[in-house]
Chain A
Amino acid sequence: MKKIIVFTILAATATLLAQHPASPAHAGETDTVHSITLPEIPPTLKDGPGKDKVITLCAICHTPDYIPMQPRLPAKTWDAEVHKMIKAFGAPINEEDAKVIINYLTTEYGTGK
């Protein structure tokens, strides 16, 4: 099984402490930088006309994995989802591209109508 583990915790070092001496106001604070590195998980999308638009436009804000996760939705629901992204979230998708994307979603991940 493929497991990609990327796990980093950067504890504050003596060097860091020396560079940032604690001011009286900060005395006693936990001098720790806590960091992680997120794994990159490639999405799995079906091939079909419009897939390129989904990857370049939808994936600006989120993984396209949101799409295959959904139940088979009718065209009007996919239309509403895409227009929610445009209106409520400000997705930079023009109406021409929106039509292509909705068609891809309905054909590959919808009820087809």
Chain B
Amino acid sequence: MKRRTFSRRDFLKTASSLGLVTAFGGIPADLFAMEGRLVRFPEKTDLILLTSRPPQLETPKHFFKELITPNEALFVRWHNANIPTSVDLRTWRIKVGGNTDRSFELSMDDLKGLPKVTYTAVIQCAGNGRSLFEPRVAGGQWGNGAMGNVTWSGARLKDVLARAGVKGDSVEVAFNGLDSGVLPSVPDLVKALPVDKALEEDLIIAYEMNGKPLTMLNGFPARLVVPGWYASYWVKALSDITVLSKPLATFWMDPAYRIPANPCACIPPGTKPGKTVPINRMDTRSLIIEPSAGNTLPAGKEVIISGLAFSGGYGIRDVVVSVDGGKVWREAKLGKDLGKYSWIQWSLPWRPSKKGKYTLMARATDSIGESQPLDSLWNPAGYMRNNIEKVAVTVR
């Protein structure tokens, strides 16, 4: 297969089609949220407060220097305010049933009795980076800290579904957790996956994150892990797995968490989409972690430009970095490979000789050639941001 690299010609093609002038018009001060309002919730370290009830907490930028996100630093996102704060493992069960041959309940011991699977996978909120959209959109105003890289352990979902016996006419599998709305009229957060997706090898019901029980705010005692897909499907504090013969059509499936039904999941800014589909696999991203936007660097001294990159389950083939706003691209060195669902760290040494302003950019490509657009693609809910981010620094 022909190896595709991002050349200057490609860049110019992309640049002209997107409008280079606007692409460089407004470089945000920082791509991560302001760390002004830090709060400490149970089992968590100081995180950036978006909302407290239900809790929505963002990971501060410095944790992204690490390959693995510590449990206490992983972002928190609940949809409805009645969240579980106490779970008794003697009575907690996952009810499995619906359009199946058998129905049963799983205890934690039952889950731990199934073969244990462990892998590292990026968990990322669909709205990660929403606050950077132009024009701005309503919703949780995340910087880029609604993501993390965690080593998950648990039982395969397909082993549980095999025990239930999924009937042939099934179309989806729905997942519900212990959380609910304050009023009975509030739609419960139930998410459904296509049945073929649910039966894939790598989905797990995770009861450990980084070798420890899940924190309460990240879904204790067990959550679904759908590696490569956005976290809205990774239902926390799992209580019900229901196989369906008809698609689930509740609020959180439609109109919530939908994207325009086209290859870019994008529409002209400010317009409304026609046909939509449920959000699904993550797109490819790379983020520059060091230096930070606005940093001043000494001329003639070597600095290491470093960051992370990940894709929707296809690993990362390469990361290219530009220090001159996209004219010349150099390949970064990739760090330790923890598998196709993990993020990979990358770095490139740089010795700026001339004083002045520089625009740093990084662009990742995954193993099936999926990469990043130059400019931000827009959709009304502010999902799937993955454009090449620009970090402006000064060399003095």
Whether B187 lies near A88 (C-beta < 8 A) is yes
Partner of B86, one of A4, A33, A88: A33
Binding site for B on A (CB under 8 A): 1, 3-8, 10, 20, 26, 28-41, 43, 60-63, 65-66, 69-73, 77, 81, 88-92
Interface residues of B in 127-150 (CB under 8 A from A): 131, 136-138, 140-141
Is the CB–CB distance between B42 and A8 below 8 Å? yes
Q: Is the CB of A70 within 8 A of B138?
A: yes
CB distance from A23 to the nearest CB of B (A): 10
Please report whether the interface of chain B is mostly helix, strand, loop or mixed according to DSSP: loop
Residue of B whose beta carbon sits closest to that of A17: B90
In angstroms, how far is the closest chain B Cβ from the Cβ of A97? 16
How far, in Å, is A81 (CB) from chain B's closest CB?
Answer: 6
| A61 touching B51, Cβ below 8 Å | no
Contact with A along B163-203 (1 / 0, CB 8 A): 00000000000000000011111110000000000000000
B87 and A33 contact, CB distance less than 8 A: yes
Shortest beta-carbon distance from B385 to chain A in Å: 15
Bound Cα distance from A91 to B181, whole angstroms: 11
| Contact A39–B141 (Cβ < 8 Å) | no
- Residues on the B chain within 8 Å of A91, using CB: 183, 185
Residues of B within 8 A of A (CB): 38-43, 46, 49-55, 80-81, 83, 85-90, 107-109, 131, 136-138, 140-141, 181-187, 213, 216-217, 220-221, 251
Q: Report the minimum CB–CB distance from B113 to chain A (whole Å).
A: 9
Other CB < 8 Å A-B pairs besides A34-B220, A38-B55, A62-B53, 4 of them?
A36-B42, A36-B217, A62-B51, A71-B141
Nearest Cβ on chain B to A14's Cβ, whole angstroms:
15
- B43, closest chain A residue (CB): A36
Known contacts being A6-B42, A39-B41, is A89 close to B187, with CB within 8 Å? Answer: yes
In chain A, what residue has the closest Cβ to B184?
A90
Complexed CA–CA distance, A31 and B220 (Å): 15
Contact A26 B90 (CB under 8 A): yes
Give Cα A9 to B289, complex, Å.
Answer: 35
The one of A3, A34, A65, A88 that contacts B52, using a Cβ cutoff of 8 Å: A65
When the two chains form their complex, are residues A35 and B51 in contact, meaning their CB atoms are under 8 A apart? no
Q: Are B90 and A71 closer than 8 Å at their CB atoms? A: no
Chain A contacts for B217, CB-based, 8 A: 36
Minimal Cβ-Cβ distance residue in A for B135: A71
12 contacts between A and B (CB under 8 A): A34-B86, A34-B216, A35-B86, A35-B87, A39-B39, A61-B81, A61-B182, A61-B183, A61-B186, A88-B187, A89-B181, A90-B186
Q: A30: which B residues are within 8 A, CB to CB?
A: 89, 108-109
**In the complex, residue of chain B having the shortest beta-carbon distance to the beta carbon of A25:** B107
> Contacts A34-B216, A62-B53 given: A29-B90 contact, CB under 8 Å?
yes
A66 to B131, CA, bound (A): 13
Check B51–A69 contact: CB distance below 8 A. yes
Q: Which residues of B contact A29 (CB under 8 A)?
A: 89-90, 107-109
Interface contact A63-B51, CB-CB below 8 Å: yes
Cross-interface CB contact of B85 among A35, A43, A61, cutoff 8 Å: A35
With CB as the reference atom, state the residue of chain A lying closest to B131.
Answer: A71
Contacting residues, chain B, for A39 (C-beta < 8 A): 39-42, 52
B42/A7 in contact, CB under 8 A: yes
- Shortest distance between the CB of B211 and any CB in chain A (Å): 16
* Pair B39/A41 contact, Cβ less than 8 Å: yes
Given the interface pairs A81-B138, A89-B185, A90-B186, the reply to whether A38 lies near B87 with Cβ below 8 Å is no
B136 to chain A: closest residue by CB: A71
Q: Is B39 within 8 A of A3, CB to CB?
A: yes
User: Nearest Cβ in chain A — how far from B276, in angstroms?
Assistant: 16
Q: Give Cα A69 to B53, complex, Å.
A: 13
**Nearest opposing residue in chain A for B133, CB measure:** A71
From known contacts A71-B141, A81-B138, infer whether A36 and B38 are also in contact, taking CB-CB under 8 Å: no
Q: Would you call A88 and B85 a contact (CB within 8 A)?
A: no
Residue of B nearest to A35 (CB): B86
B185 touches A41 (CB 8 A): no
Q: How far is the CA of A6 from the CA of B81 in the complex (A)?
A: 18
A43 to B138, CA, bound (A): 19
A73 CB to closest chain B CB, in angstroms? 6
* Contacting pair A69 B50 (CB below 8 A): yes
On whether the beta carbons of A38 and B85 are closer than 8 Å, the reply is yes
Q: Indicate whether A90 sits within 8 Å of B183 (C-beta atoms), given known contacts A34-B216, A66-B51.
A: yes
Do B89 and A32 have beta carbons less than 8 Å apart? yes
